[in-house]
Structure 1
Amino acid sequence: MQQDIFAALRARTVDALQGLLPELPAEAFSRVVVEPPRDASHGDMATNAAMVVAKLAKLPPPKLAADLSAKLAELPEVAEVAPAGPGFINIRLQPEYLRAQLPVVLAAGEAYGQGAATGHKVNVEYVSANPTGPMHVGHCRGAVVGDALANLLAKAGDAVTKEYYINDAGAQVQALAWAAFWRYLEVAARAGAPGAVLDKLRAEPENGRAIVEAEFGTTLQYGGEYLIPVGEALWAEHGPALMDPTPDTLLAIRHATVAAMMVEIRADLAALGVTHDVFISEAEVVAAGKLEQAEQVLDAKGLMYRGILEPPKGKTPDDWEPREQTLFRATQFGDDTDRPLRKSDGSGTYFANDIANHLHKIERGFDELVHVWGADHGGYVKRMKAAVSALSDSRVSLDVVLTQIVHVLKDGQPVRMSKRAGSYITLADLIDEVGRDAVRFTMLTRKADAQMEFDLNKVVEQSRDNPVFYVQYAHARIRSVLRAAGDPADFAGADLSPLTDAAEMALIRRITTWPRVVEGAAAAREPHRIAFYLNDLAGDFHMLWNRGREDATLRFIRPEEPVATKARLALLAATGAVLRSGLQVMGVTPVEELRDERKGDSAEPG
């Protein structure tokens, strides 16, 4: 039996249409959809079939809808069919058919909703923060969205690789090396090493930044306390050998500092439950000659030329000057302007290095590339799509999910910045405050490109308004009932006919939409839909729980009614399996027991 009853009925609908319209080609039915109606009172499903096919069939939509309705009404799983509006059809399913889906769910368990293998190799690149400091709240949202999206695509049937691209080849990493050098000098000064600059640091340790900047003619962009252990490690390994900041010593400092930062970043991600399959170094990609290779590929296709760009629109930067550059014909692929690939010193532009990175991905055989970026990179999307299309002859697609900023509040006020980081709230601080699961679930309660407020008080609140608690409490209640019943594992052959109450049927209907939710959320690249679905599923369950408190005949465990008890336990077991399936996608651990402090209720059945 198929897991997705919407896909099953769509296939039946197309078969019926083909029987009515045998002269139409198969592609004429490609736009037919079967989905839940906007108003649940209209039925279990609705289809646009008659409306989207009528023009090709040269028939009035209402006429085709009436004919198709008559065909669909003959299906054994259909209880009622009603044409509506200008060609829509509302469908109500037989209760027996809906109840018959529960054994399918129970047999699949947490694998329910798993899509058939698509054969598509998908690379999901997310986080990819500059390795210049600890992970912060902004990184957190991208990490959670990216990780959940990768899980979602795998659930839908894609072969997914989770990738972190280390931006370790730019000016920011060089600035990081200078900041680590400052911290190294502070350690050297405390160790009593000789030197004029060290004497100054010993005399005025509180002015260390200014002393180093003046002495070496640099600007220290990074100054958080997180670099102090890096300076100590450099001194422990190298002693005074790095005191002279030559290109070679700064390169050694840079490598050591990036490695140290990546250890911290991996630890922060692990605390969030995020693990990547692959870490790719920008510096290594460039050193391997991928930029030159990408230029050769583009040049062979006639997509490179020497030219002079127009000045930027609006206010022209003071340092802008017209000069001949190596340009990529990005406008041929939908970009607003052609893009330079080389700086005046001959090194690759930021964009050029990203082209090299994407060539590397294409060469590894991926069919689809998905990136999760901060919203401030929105203007970068067109040019990167253009590059991927050009490099792959449009074989490989690139989708970009943009994430907006997160404002962290506590007691109604913005949370103070982290002392250790010096300028922002770290991911570790956030996890320590509310826990990994609360962070992950909450980050998925809004669409990625919508700004959000992360209210620390709300996230730990035990109320209907807190979706983290609400969903976890539903699972805990289900587990409590099943434990009270002795954790029955075998529901095969259970008589499900006692499940007739409106609340029971509503829960069954919600369960059966899970495969469709997975498919739709994956196609739209919107993992927040999973959080919304779980909240709705939990709501249907809690409603049924409350019905049992109001009406003793609807309680889950009634020893005097063993058939009804087994049927209701089967419904609860199926609900729990779908809750766990969804929480797996979100990377959230389902809880076995959760005490409701408002009522002193440990979720045990009444």
Structure 2
Amino acid sequence: MNVFTIFTDRVKAAISEIGLTARDGSELDLSRVIVEPPRDAAHGDLATNAAMVLSKQVGMKPRDVADKIAEALAEDRDVAKVDVAGPGFINMALSDDFWRGLVKTIVKAGEAFGRCDLGAGSKINVEYVSANPTGPMHVGHTRGAVLGDCIANLLDFAGYDVCREYYINDAGAQVDVLARSAFLRYCEALGDDIGTIPDGLYPGDYLVPVGEALAKEHGDKLKKASEEEWLPLVRAYAVDAMMEMIRGDLAALNVNHDVFFSERSLIYGEKDRVKEAIEWLSDKGHVYVGTLPPPKGQLPDDWEDREQTLFRSTEFGDDIDRPLKKSDGSNTYFANDIAYHFDKFKRGYSKQVDILGADHGGYVKRLKSAVAAITQGEGGLEVKICQLVNLMRNGEQLKMSKRAGNFITLRDVVEEVGVDAVRFMMMYRKSEVTIDFDFAKVTEQSKDNPVFYVQYAHARTASIFRQAANEVPHLSVGLEDLANADLSAINDELELALIRKLSEYPRIVEGAAETQEPHRVAFYLYDLAGYFHAVWNKGKEMPQLRFINVKDEKMTLARLALVQAVATVISSGLGLLGVNAPEEMR
């Protein structure tokens, strides 16, 4: 039940009732009529721009249109007051009975409250994490993993058919570096003194078990082989070992993918799918042979003024056309990426979402242009950039480097502070903003720690029900009892404000799904927890407002219905973030 959608429909119905017509006799365009919260809560519960967007169509002053619409809306039994403000904004205050009825709606709907059909069952692919398979996940990968997982949860909640996908970058030079690093550990396992790991190789101890496993399986046979012979075998073995480790790391974060897609399969599978994608684009007229202008500014030493195979990315919003072939005839990374997104499109995913790291900002336009060409207007690509995570301890930033082998792993962080704290705090900022993740603050039991504050609110709802079972044990408080409770006695200003806050949830999650911004849910939950804690605190000061009143079971049941509504929404929102809703906290 989205209050704002409901009243958008009622405003449109009111417009029809008063008989407004366009000056040219055509049907009124109501597509831009919306209902949303007013900028100032003192102006009421809802505001609509209807008069402003219809004024020109009907040939009347906005204020005159607003007066007519407001008069019709005043007849709505759920509208307590209608005001016209400024040049023609219409503000509405809803009746207390309407808000009390919302509590019953939430209790009856349960976990379905807030769901919508925005996606209408359409398929969408969300690709996230996709870290190079060269070692365990570090804290820098954590944010993208959580962001992608939460976006997928939101899209599923909003009615999409979601595929969660991981793209294994196993075709680039970095996996050959991994193979040579693993081979060195293999030699070490056979008794060789390898000394200091050479620059350019991965020095981490996580490759020691890989070397030992290779030695156990192959003995010294690989040492006798040429690099050309052992490199493919060791590369495949090392990548498999790293992906097993990565899957375990992601599972520790409660992140699970539906598909793990290998980049190598595009190039070395049954057919060359990169070639296939380029030929498909060529047939559509999007590929040509030509030259590119030199880069702006200082000319690079490696600049080549030569004819190249180019994708017409400028026709789809990019700054320049992009090369698909290197000077040696091999594919560019971009060509492989085109093939990958083309493969997703062929699998039925015209709508795609990519989660990329902060260093990929300059890559967004070309990717979006490629998918625009591939989908031919049927869909498109949304790209979310994940900014960096600064890991803090005792006020100092921790430095890390995968190549140097001195990095903080994802599992290190999860084991120290818990998966709930990691996931919630990764979503408690917009993805494009850098996060300072402080070990001390995310485990602090105070209002300043958002995850504790929200989880404590849910635990408090469970505590209230346990208290009710002790103090009024004969009172039946099942969901049906709560849904049928008489709520007429709920009149306190803070309680009604809490219900209004609950009403925002469907709009929040729909907006978060539409924009792929899970932080909106995290912010909302923190605010909702604040409203609930305020009601609880007011009850401590004023006994007549306590949730449980052994002398008034009717009021107790009514307030328990409100508590259940709060528990439902907090549990739902935390679920979208992949965070537990605890029954108690110690």
How high is the TM-score relative to the length of structure 2? 0.95
Q: Contact 1:120 / 1:367 at 8 angstroms: preserved in 2?
A: no
1:154 aligns with 2:156: yes
1:441 corresponds to which residue?
A: 424
Q: Could you say what secondary structure the match of 1:499 adopts?
A: coil
Q: Contact 2:167 / 2:260 at 8 angstroms: preserved in 1?
A: yes
1:206 aligns with 2:204: no
1:50 corresponds to which residue?
A: 51
499, 504, 517: which one aligns with 1:508: 499
Paired with 1:242 and 1:21, the residues of 2 have a C-alpha distance of: 84
2:301 corresponds to which residue?
A: 318
Paired with 2:12 and 2:183, the residues of 1 have a C-alpha distance of: 68
Superposition RMSD in Å: 1.6
Which runs of no fewer than 5 residues in structure 2 stay unpaired?
Answer: 470-475
Q: Contact 1:355 / 1:384 at 8 angstroms: preserved in 2?
A: yes
Deviation at 1:158, TM superposition (A): 1.1
1:78 corresponds to which residue?
A: 79
Paired with 1:418 and 1:388, the residues of 2 have a C-alpha distance of: 33
Q: Contact 1:340 / 1:349 at 8 angstroms: preserved in 2?
A: yes
Paired with 1:343 and 1:438, the residues of 2 have a C-alpha distance of: 45
Q: Contact 2:122 / 2:161 at 8 angstroms: preserved in 1?
A: yes
Q: Which digits, 9 at most, give the CA deviation of each residue in 1:154-177, with x for residues without a partner?
A: 111111111111111111111111
In the TM superposition, what are the counterparts of 1:209-228 in structure 2 within 5 Å?
Answer: 209-210=197-198, 220-228=200-208
1:195 corresponds to which residue?
A: none
1:142 corresponds to which residue?
A: 144
Paired with 1:421 and 1:17, the residues of 2 have a C-alpha distance of: 67
Deviation at 1:448, TM superposition (A): 0.4
Paired with 2:260 and 2:366, the residues of 1 have a C-alpha distance of: 24
In the TM superposition, what are the counterparts of 1:257-276 in structure 2 within 5 Å?
Answer: 257-276=238-257
1:213 corresponds to which residue?
A: none
175, 187, 193: which one aligns with 2:177: 175
Which runs of no fewer than 5 residues in structure 1 stay unpaired?
Answer: 191-197, 211-218, 596-606
1:591 corresponds to which residue?
A: 582
1:468 corresponds to which residue?
A: 451
Deviation at 1:310, TM superposition (A): 2.0
Q: Contact 1:80 / 1:92 at 8 angstroms: preserved in 2?
A: yes
Paired with 1:226 and 1:220, the residues of 2 have a C-alpha distance of: 16
Deviation at 1:245, TM superposition (A): 4.1
Paired with 1:540 and 1:39, the residues of 2 have a C-alpha distance of: 18
Paired with 2:15 and 2:48, the residues of 1 have a C-alpha distance of: 12
Q: Could you say what secondary structure the match of 2:219 adopts?
A: helix
In the TM superposition, what are the counterparts of 1:379-458 in structure 2 within 5 Å?
Answer: 379-415=362-398, 417=400, 422-458=405-441
Q: Which digits, 9 at most, give the CA deviation of each residue in 1:19-74, with x for residues without a partner?
A: 33244766711111111112212111111111122122221111111111111111
14, 17, 24: which one aligns with 1:16: 14
| Amino acid across the alignment from 2:163 | T
Paired with 1:325 and 1:223, the residues of 2 have a C-alpha distance of: 38
1:106 corresponds to which residue?
A: 107
Q: Contact 1:179 / 1:220 at 8 angstroms: preserved in 2?
A: no
Q: Contact 2:78 / 2:98 at 8 angstroms: preserved in 1?
A: yes
1:303 corresponds to which residue?
A: 286
Deviation at 1:416, TM superposition (A): 5.4
1:344 corresponds to which residue?
A: 327
Paired with 2:140 and 2:300, the residues of 1 have a C-alpha distance of: 29
Deviation at 1:86, TM superposition (A): 2.1
Q: Which digits, 9 at most, give the CA deviation of each residue in 1:393-441, with x for residues without a partner?
A: 1212100011110101111112354899713221111111100000000
Deviation at 1:290, TM superposition (A): 1.5
Query: What is the number of equivalent residue pairs in this alignment?
Result: 571
Paired with 1:456 and 1:48, the residues of 2 have a C-alpha distance of: 46
| Amino acid across the alignment from 1:286 | I
221, 237, 241: which one aligns with 2:221: 241
Q: Contact 2:267 / 2:274 at 8 angstroms: preserved in 1?
A: yes
Q: Could you say what secondary structure the match of 2:217 adopts?
A: helix
Q: Could you say what secondary structure the match of 1:160 adopts?
A: strand
Report percent identity of matched pairs: 53
Paired with 2:548 and 2:121, the residues of 1 have a C-alpha distance of: 45
1:493 aligns with 2:484: yes
541, 560, 563: which one aligns with 1:569: 560
Q: Using the TM superposition, name which of 468-477 and 27-36 deviates more.
A: 27-36
In the TM superposition, what are the counterparts of 1:271-286 in structure 2 within 5 Å?
Answer: 271-286=252-267
Q: Contact 1:133 / 1:421 at 8 angstroms: preserved in 2?
A: no
Paired with 2:574 and 2:228, the residues of 1 have a C-alpha distance of: 49
Deviation at 1:554, TM superposition (A): 0.4
Q: Could you say what secondary structure the match of 2:381 adopts?
A: strand
Paired with 2:100 and 2:416, the residues of 1 have a C-alpha distance of: 43
Q: Contact 1:134 / 1:421 at 8 angstroms: preserved in 2?
A: no
